[in-house]
Every structure is written in C-alpha cells, then in structure tokens.
Copies of this chain bind each other. A is one copy, B any other.
Amino acid sequence: MRQPAGRSARRSGGERKPREERWAELIEVATQVFYEKGYDGASLQDIADRLGMLKGSLYYYIQSKEDLLFDVISTVHRDGLAVVRARAEVEGSPLEKLESVIVGHVEHTCRNLVPTAVFLHELSALPIDRRKEVLGSEHAYQGVFRDLIEQAQRQGDVRADLDPRLAALSVLGSTNWVYRWFRPGGAFTPEQIGSELAEMSIRGIATEKALAARA
C-alpha cells in the first residue's frame, strides 16, 4: 500500500484527504453515477468530475472501472445477506422466522435503495467469476427463503401442494421489486412496507391452520 504523495499541485485548492476517506467518497459517487446512468452508460469521467479530480487520477485508487462496480455490489449483497441470516437464526417457528426475514430484507432494501438497485441491475456487467464471488456458492439469498419455506411446510404451516422454489421466487419478487418504487419521504415508510409485504406473503403461502394459530 503506497501512501499518497505530499504537496503536489491540487486542482481546486482543497486539502488532500486520507486514502480511506477518499475511497469511501469514490464508492459513494460511483454508486450514485451507476444508479443514474447504468454501469455501461457511466464514464470514469463522470465520476472524476464529481470528485473534482482527473479521470486518470482514479487509477491511483483502482485498477479498473470494474473494481468500483464490484465493491458496490459485493458490499450491499454481503450486508443484506447478513441481515436475513441473522433473522433466520433467532428463536421462533420457521414461519415466524420467514416473516421476520421478509421484514428485514425489505427494510434493508429501502434503506439501501441506490446500491441495491445497482446490484439488481448491473450484476450482469461483472464477469462470471466475480459474479460468483459475490453470490457465493449456490443462490445464498434465495436459499434462506426457500429453506424456511421448506421447514414451515414440514411443520404443516405452509400449504403442502406448493413448490417451495416457486414460493420463494414469489416472495423474493414481491420484496425485491421495492427497489423500483420506494421513495424516501414518500407515502410509505420502510417499516410499513416491510410489515405489509410480509403479511401478504405469509398469507399467500400459509395453511389455514397456521393463519388461525397466528391470530
């Protein structure tokens, strides 16, 4: 790790910032620009402009444009996965866990709208090996939902005739879609959306027995 050099000429007279701090700014700006223009539509020039540096100077921090996308995507995916896994491990029945997982997932999505949108839109811009590095072995995210649905099904809390994969995809669709319409300060809070979507999802797949016991 090289250290930034000392007193060279600056572009707009600002103080040079520590590497870590500048890196954080870089990622924040890159996230925003990828969100607005898409990965391919965004240029390093756009990003450099907003940071007040020259395009070539970005290579002091990165090896390639792709590094920026990878950081944005892997961070939001790792954090989101941690949220749902934590909620899948607390005390409770599988159906109760699933409800909590859905709420956590939706709230995390609302609170990380921009990086989540980049993740869901631009994952395909990563080469396949880095894509796998992000997603982990198997569909980790999807697996959390499907496993809980299967467990709930064995307990008679989810309808027996339902395919757990299909049910998981239905729930993930309903919840992930939030990234397309949620607006901070809009008609609904993340908590409202989380609890309402969870309610609809649970009712959509649960047995009458489980629903009666819940009330």
User: Which of A's residues lie within 8 Å of B, judged by CB?
Assistant: 37-38, 40-41, 121, 124-125, 162-163, 165-167, 169-178, 180-181, 187-188, 193, 196-197, 199-201, 203-205
Contact = CB atoms under 8 A, between A and B. Distances in A.
A163 B196 contact: yes
Contact of A166 (B167, B170, B175, B188): B188
23 contacts: A38-B40, A38-B124, A40-B40, A41-B125, A121-B121, A162-B200, A165-B187, A166-B197, A169-B181, A170-B174, A170-B196, A170-B201, A172-B177, A173-B174, A173-B175, A173-B176, A173-B178, A174-B174, A174-B177, A199-B204, A200-B204, A203-B203, A204-B204
Where chain A touches its partner, the secondary structure class is helix
A172 B163 CA distance: 20
A193 B50 CA distance: 45
A162 B180 CA distance: 20
A177 B166 contact: no
A125 B196 contact: no
Given A121-B121, A169-B178, A200-B205, 6 more contacts: A162-B200, A166-B197, A170-B201, A173-B173, A203-B203, A203-B204
